[in-house]
């Protein structure tokens, strides 16, 4: 991908009050810029095992995890959840993404 720095600089240097580009005329270089892709990585099993071990040690995390994994509400489980976990759950501030709890 090639970027015309003169054009881009003019767009970024545009002064709305005067209506003219300020210093874009002095730049005339063109450069090659590689397109950077979005990288992703896979977590190792050890990482997930450590996280799940933490969830099992903390009762409120375990309950919240069960609630978020279910398709339908479970008043029995909700009644076991304590504050501030219960409030955050009811306010939809808790998410389960790829098995990881975001709270």
Ranges of residues in the chain with a pLDDT under 70 are 1-43
* 54 shares its domain with 77: yes
Q: What angle do CA 98, 57, 50 make, to 5 degrees?
A: 45
User: Residue 41's pLDDT is what?
Assistant: 59
Backbone angles phi and psi of 2, in degrees to 5: -110, 135
For residue 11, what are the domain limits? Answer: 2-32
Does residue 62 fall inside a structural domain?
Answer: yes
Is-above-0.75 flag for pTM?
A: no
DSSP state of 100: E
pLDDT digits (tens, 9 = 90+) for 34-56: 655 555 556 678 888 888 888 88
Number of independent structural domains in the chain: 2
CA distance 48 to 19: 56
User: Residue 83's pLDDT is what?
Assistant: 92
CA distance 37 to 47: 25
* 25 shares its domain with 58: no
Q: Could you tell me if 15 and 22 are in contact, meaning their C-beta atoms sit under 8 angstroms apart? A: yes
User: Residue 21's pLDDT is what?
Assistant: 53
């Amino acid at each position: 991908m090639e970027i015309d720095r003169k054009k881009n600089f003019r767009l970024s240097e545009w002064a709305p009050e005067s209506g003219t580009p300020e210093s874009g005329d002095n730049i005339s270089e063109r450069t090659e810029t590689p397109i950077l892709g979005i990288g992703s990585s896979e977590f190792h099993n050890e990482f997930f095992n450590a996280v799940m071990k933490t969830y099992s040690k903390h009762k409120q995390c375990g309950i919240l995890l069960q609630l978020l994994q279910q398709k339908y509400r479970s008043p029995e489980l909700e009644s076991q959840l304590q504050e501030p976990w219960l409030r955050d759950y009811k306010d939809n501030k808790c998410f389960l993404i790829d098995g990881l709890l975001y709270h």
